[in-house]
Amino acid sequence: MSEIIIGGATVNQTPLDWENNLAHLRSSIEAARQKGVDILCLPELSITGYGSEDLFLSVWYPQKALQMLKNLLPFAKGITVAVGLPIRIQGKVYNCMALVEDGQVKGFVPKQFLAIDGVHYECRWFTPWKAGELIQFDFFGQNIPFGDQVFESNGLRFGFEICEDAWRGAERPGYRLRDRKVDLIFNPSASHFAMGKSRRREELVKSSSKILAASYFYVNLLGNESGRMIFDGEVMLAFRGKLLLKNTLLSYSDFQLLTFKMEGNQPLGEPLSSKHIKNEEFVKASSLALFDYLRKSKSRGFVLSLSGGADSSSIAILVAEMIRRGVSELGVPSFLKKLRIENTLSPTASLKEITEAIFATAYQGTENSSQETFDSARMLAESLGAKFYHWTIDDEVKGYTRKIENALGRKLTWEKDDIALQNIQARARSPIIWMLANINNALLLSTSNRSEGDVGYATMDGDTSGSISPIAAVDKHFILQWLRWAQKELGYQGLEGVNSLQPTAELRPLEQHQTDEEDLMPYPVIVAIERLAILDRRSPADIYLLLKEELNIPAAQLKVYIHKFFRLWSRNQWKRERLSPSFHLDEFNVDPKTWYRFPILSGGYEVELREMEKLEE
């Protein structure tokens, strides 16, 4: 067997953006050809994009994908290319890889196992293929083998495990590929980003190369395709349990190509190691997601109600990092062109000039706001170069309050009307900040975090208002430590004021010294309860028994916290149903549209909480 060059290209695709999707595929193939690649693997569903949702159920959409494959064939001369697309056969849709050799389709390999947990709903759209089954498929008048098969090129035998196929233990197709003596297994994937997931994938790829006795090559999709899920564009190669190739993740480029050589059935290369830093993963994924969301929505920038607190400040840093990282990777001209603002700024514009052009912030104070939060917001915005507006909403709040007082025939008081008086302040901020977003043709950034989503500690149509909610899938405890890390490691000294403040909604009179954790419970406790309740799906009694041993909290107080969590969780599902679209960033989230579904109306765990109360303290 002669030397052969293998390539993997990750691409940033968008549902229904046929022309640009095809252009990205063509560019990656041409780049591979220029590097002498013999076999190029592209990701799962890379013709359509993974996030096409119910478009997959239509008749015309898979047909269009086949036409795009046909259009791609002339650009695949002199090279072998594997590319992903949906294919409909007799009313069933299959998630497939098409193998193209020298401009001719040689076979289709459908996915055998479907992802159906967490953010995935593949069984809604696709049908799993049966192991060992092979049929003929009519591809524009040509009969093409379709099914469970292996291929050979230049003496190299290879096959496919498509994403979820590899995660199915003893059932995985890789064992049958091993029995068929393949030298190389491709894993084209559309595996969503989550902090810490790259480490798990890396272990999978290394162990697969060992137990399947073959080189194992993993290629993932890239970018924020369709709004919520982010793909990190990971490309990895392992052989005999050692990692030999790995790229830099979360690129701003349209595609990223990695190559390696094989002599005989062995890849060339030295073992390498990689770092996995959760804080770095968070900022890279969030900033790329914001960049793709901004350009794909064809908006002109972002608007943020900057309170001076942790949540809004973290989002401000993510926008700044979006600009810094994008300019660093693409250069100013390309960055501006991708955002369609190349005619409004100089190609030598500074980071602060770009930030001012696309990012506007506003501090919306009330008589309950402090000088400290105003100074914190102003210092941060000015340090980033963002536009900074400030105004008060006392007149609006008083106007609403007077109207309801006149209607009720009584004065509102903090003793009697606490929640209403807090909420009207948050809601009164919404219309004017939306107005600024509309004037700027910009996206309004919502500031809710996951911990607040758990317990409904957010005002609907107030601080939940927005076009996109960047941190709604991240807990508050993580945000607080990340801000300290960002100040130290990323150099954002404008966070000094933010990091010196205790989280507070500032909706009650200042003399009441309101804090978030006094309103709720310590954030680390919320995180511990939600992980067991939502991720592990444990009952209140189980959670109490587990946390009683783990947390240094009196048993009676722990029961109070657990009771409060489940009571507030059950009451506030309607709020979670209405949250702005959020990025999936962690192992789990509470967005019912992507990860965790819960009934809006329920018994509220009353029986289960009574069972917990009976447990010995």
Residues 371-381 have pLDDT tens digits of: 999 999 999 99
Q: Identify the CA nearest to 543 among candidates 528, 554, 553.
A: 528
Structure confidence at residue 506 as a pLDDT band (50, 70, 90): low
CA 142 distance to own-chain centroid: 40
Average pLDDT over residues 84-95: 97
| Residue-wise DSSP of 191-215 | PBP-TTHHHHHHHHHHHHHHHTTSE
Q: How far apart are CA 385 and CA 587, in angstroms?
A: 33
Taking the C-alpha atoms of residue 483 and residue 507, their distance in angstroms, rounded to an integer, is: 23
What stretch(es) of the chain map to CATH 3.40.50.620? Answer: 280-516
Which tokens in the block code for residue 354?
Answer: 């770009």
User: Does the domain at residues 280-516 carry the CATH identifier 3.40.50.620?
Assistant: yes
Q: Which of 381-395, 451-465, 472-486 has the lowest mean pLDDT?
A: 451-465
pLDDT, mean of residues 44-62: 97
- Mean pLDDT, all residues of the chain: 95
Q: What does the DSSP 8-state code read for residue 57?
A: G
Q: What is the pLDDT of residue 501?
A: 85
Q: Residue 286 above 60 pLDDT?
A: yes
68-90 residues labelled b (16+ CB within 10 A) or e (exposed): bbeebbebbeebbbbbbbbbbbe
Burial 392-419 (b: 16+ CB within 10 A, else e): ebeebbeebbeeeeeeeeeebeeeebee
Give the DSSP H/E element, type plus range, for residue 96: strand 92-101
310 pLDDT band (50/70/90 cuts)? very high
The ranges of the chain annotated as CATH 3.60.110.10 are 7-268
184 forms beta bridges with: 158, 215
Question: Sorting pLDDT into bands at 50, 70 and 90, what band is 449?
Answer: very high
Return all residues near 564 (Cβ < 8 A) that are at least 6 apart: 455, 520, 521
> What percentage of the chain has pLDDT greater than the value 90?
93
Domain 7-268 is found in CATH 3.40.50.1100: no
Whole-angstrom Cα distance, residue 192 to residue 195? Answer: 10
Judge contact between 54 and 103, C-beta under 8 A: no
Percent of the chain residues past pLDDT 70, beyond the cut: 99
pLDDT tens, position by position, 351-404: 999 999 999 999 999 999 999 999 999 999 999 999 999 999 999 999 999 999
Residue 345 has pLDDT above 80, yes or no: yes
Distance of CA 9 to the CA centre of its chain: 20
- pLDDT of 1 reads 54
The residue among 43, 40, 81, 45 whose CA lies nearest residue 62 is: 45
